[in-house]
Amino acid sequence: MPGFELFGEAERQEVQDVLDSGVLMRYGFDGLRQGHWKAKDLEHAIQNRFKINHAQLVSSGTAAVSMALAAAGIGAGDEVIMPSFTFVASFEAILMLGATPIVVDIDDTLTLDIQSVKDAITPKTKAIMPVHMCGSMARLDDLKSICVEHHLILIEDACQAIGGTYRGKALGTLGDLGCFSFDFVKTVTCGEGGVVITNSSKYAKHLDHFSDHGHDHMGSDRGAETHPFLGYNFRISELNAAVGLAQFRRLDEFLALQKKHYSIMRQALEPIDGVTFRTVPKGGVESYAFLNFFLNDLESAREVSNAFKENGIDACFHYYDNNWHYIRKWNHLKEQQSLYPLSDEVTKGLDYLRHKTFLKSDHYIGRNMSCLVKLSWTETQVRERAKTMAECIKTVYFNR
């Protein structure tokens, strides 16, 4: 990742089709569009590839998560369990519906810690939202059993793990609903865009209407359509979908490159004492979008992070000190810095964040380095990079 590194003729051709017909909208204008339905084609491609009944494209990954929650009927007063390590989009999507994000610890998978999830369940809990961070998955079997036992909805945020699998099934298809982002820096990009996938025809109908002002999409006269329930506009445009269509067809090419580059880096780091790798749950196959490893302690991780930067190793993240992906720096959430009044339920519901600690998460994120696996590297570049990374780590340990 990211897919934009390999933009080429295929992407240009799909966009050119849309420009030639001039129909930039995904619905209607049947006569004008000269047979081009980029959003529909991309939805079908996603359904076929992931063996899922329904795919609803939307305007972003964040919108996809919100739409998934809304489709499942989650809103004011409801609690959604989410991990301490994720992108801010996770709590944004929950808050947008007036629901309350309940942030819990992660474990050595870098995703939801099962005991912490169990401990967080209350009568208000409606959904559990694992986030398959950095190319690998949550402990989905355990989460599914918890959801069955407590009658909760399982929503997978697979935005960073497209192409990964669990027990032979595509990530995103194991929960009640799954979400992907196609933003500019993801493995597959539309520029901006996202998708919700589900096998439930009820949720699919909700997603279809809700993301387009409640339109029921019956008949061929948009103005005459009815609105069975309230909606918003989270449509994707045909231009964005066209880019995504070309990119999605190249998913296998991208995954093969990710796996190759990941493996070269991993082999270089494996022999080093004091380097361990994130746990991938049994039955899981990573998308190889990132190589994640742990160092001995927080200070070593900080020093390795600096050494990487000084030696030209870009795109390796020490998320402990990052503003966007880890609870430690989410002060705007903890202090409820909102432009507009939040509901009483959310205000009270978020109060726990003023004092809750995340020691288990600190233990893992403090020692973790996440290295993005790029597509455009040559094999020589990856090998040199892997060698430099290994040298940086050994030097840091030698000097401590």
Ligand X SMILES: *Cc1c(COP(=O)(O)O)cnc(C)c1O
Judged by the rule CB under 6 A, the positions of this chain that interact with ligand X are 60-62, 86-87, 89-90, 131, 157, 159-160, 181, 183, 194
Of 93 and 389, the one with the shorter C-beta distance to ligand X is 93
Cβ at position 140, least distance to ligand X in Å: 16
Of 89 and 153, the one with the shorter C-beta distance to ligand X is 89
Cβ at position 253, least distance to ligand X in Å: 21
Of 60 and 173, the one with the shorter C-beta distance to ligand X is 60
Please tell me the distance from the alpha carbon of residue 244 to that of residue 193, in angstroms, as a whole number.
8
Of 181 and 211, the one with the shorter C-beta distance to ligand X is 181
Shortest-Cβ-distance residue relative to ligand X: 61
Of 187 and 305, the one with the shorter C-beta distance to ligand X is 187
* DSSP SS3 for 36: coil
Please tell me the distance from the alpha carbon of residue 254 to that of residue 228, in angstroms, as a whole number.
41
Side by side, which strands form the sheet with 165-166? 169-170, 165-166, 284-285
Please tell me the distance from the alpha carbon of residue 235 to that of residue 57, in angstroms, as a whole number.
7
Q: How many CB atoms lie within 10 A of CB 89?
A: 23
Burial-class residue 82 by CB neighbours within 10 Å (0-12, 13-18, 19+).
buried
Nearest residue to 294 (alpha-carbon basis) of 271, 313, 318: 318
Cβ at position 261, least distance to ligand X in Å: 19
Cβ at position 399, least distance to ligand X in Å: 34
Cβ at position 176, least distance to ligand X in Å: 17
Of 93 and 393, the one with the shorter C-beta distance to ligand X is 93
Cβ at position 194, least distance to ligand X in Å: 5
Greatest Cα-to-Cα distance within the chain, rounded to the nearest angstrom:
73
Please tell me the distance from the alpha carbon of residue 76 to that of residue 70, in angstroms, as a whole number.
11
